[in-house]
Amino acid sequence: MRALLLFLAHREGFKNFILRFKIFQKAAWRFVAGETLDDAIRVVRDANRLRMRGTLDLLGENTRSRADAINAVREVFTMLDRIRDEKVDCNVSVKLTQLGLDLDADFCRSNLEEIVRRARACESFVRVDMEDSIYTQRTLDIVQKVHTVLDNVGTVVQAYLYRTAQDVAGLLEAGVTIRLCKGAYLEPETVAFKKKRDTDANFLKMTRQLLQSGLYHAIATHDECIIEATKAFVRAQNIPRERFEFQMLYGVRRHLQQKLAQEGFNVRIYIPYGRRWYPYFMRRLAERPANLFFVVRNFFKG
């Protein structure tokens, strides 16, 4: 089922079919803040009121023209300015294919550097999202180059990739802060663990390494077993809660998000928005059967 949903995430015909049913778009708003920046800022404010931070992601990837990539840069500028003006506790996440990585690596790096420079002027931070494995090395190369000039940029590593331990070592040596997640793309067995227990074991190993590094990292998971193991490790090692944060997706395990915040942990909610919400929504359905059941249940209610 997961493979099928990830396949359908990039099929325009299926997208056009299901969007005939308003219930699917309605269900998407459980996981997507909306289509406008106003929608997203409202969600950030709600999170802040619950003592949680936000990271805004303008949905969209695999830009096909330089003009589209430049437009994406301008939209991220608007996000950063709005976050500063609204005085909300939030930063931004970006994808490099949205900034032109498929077109030209130097062009993409220049676009990212402009965004990070603008973020610094706004006293903010930029997290570069990780995409599927064909982009991993290029993403890390660009982030590390920009980081040598501007240190308010970090990136993401995915625990299901075999290469992640080596990538973490290189990023820590360069002083780059990391968001650790399990990984949401359909990868071949040649590059990624296929068994959940192997991914979980690698995630916990990387978590311990990050927490002991002295840098401020993000542990991005909804897995309660991993969260409890992380909390136990922090207690055992006397690691201050101020040294890291848990990150979770908007609309997923909301009660758990609030519970962690109430316990005094730093919690940041990944808040996506924009008109290109369909591929993101399908990935969320693929990740957890409960998400798909939510849509199906509401479909029959409608």
Question: Looking at the annotation, which residues are catalytic?
Answer: 129, 179
Count of beta carbons in the 10 Å neighbourhood of residue 17: 12
d(CA 295, CA 157): 29
Helices (H), the chain: 2-8, 12-18, 22-28, 37-49, 66-86, 105-121, 136-147, 164-174, 196-211, 224-237, 254-262, 278-287, 289-301
CB 126 within 8 A of CB 96: no
Helix (H, G, I), strand (E, B) or coil at 218: strand
Helix (H, G, I), strand (E, B) or coil at 212: coil
Q: CA-CA distances (angstroms) from residue 261 to 239, 245, 267, 268?
A: 17, 10, 6, 9
Two tokens at 284? 């969320």
Q: Which residues pair with 128 in a beta bridge?
A: 94, 155
CB 130 within 8 A of CB 139: yes
